[in-house]
């Protein structure tokens, strides 16, 4: 049973997240041979103040 975690900044629409889950599930099923009903996808959303690059939070750059 493959488990996939997608970490991304918040702000995507429900339709975008639905499409992401469907495509990730398809890709994992096709490449691993696991049936789609065994593929688990977690979406972890972060706010810009919880994500930093080069010592600066993304929220500080807006």
Q: Which residues contact 29 (CB under 8 A, 6 or more apart)?
A: 35, 36, 39
| Continuous segment of H or E residues that includes residue 44 | strand 40-46
Is 27 among the residues known to form the active site? Answer: no
Q: What is the spatial distance between Cα 35 and Cα 33, in angstroms, rounded to a whole number?
A: 6
Of 2, 34, 41, 48, catalytic = 2
Residues marked active site are found at 2
């Amino acid at each position: 049973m493959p488990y996939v975690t997608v970490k991304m900044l918040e702000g995507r629409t429900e339709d975008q997240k639905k499409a992401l889950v469907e495509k990730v599930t398809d890709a994992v099923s096709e490449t691993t041979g696991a049936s789609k009903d065994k593929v688990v996808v977690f979406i972890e959303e972060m706010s810009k103040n919880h994500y930093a690059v080069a010592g600066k939070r993304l929220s500080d750059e807006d």
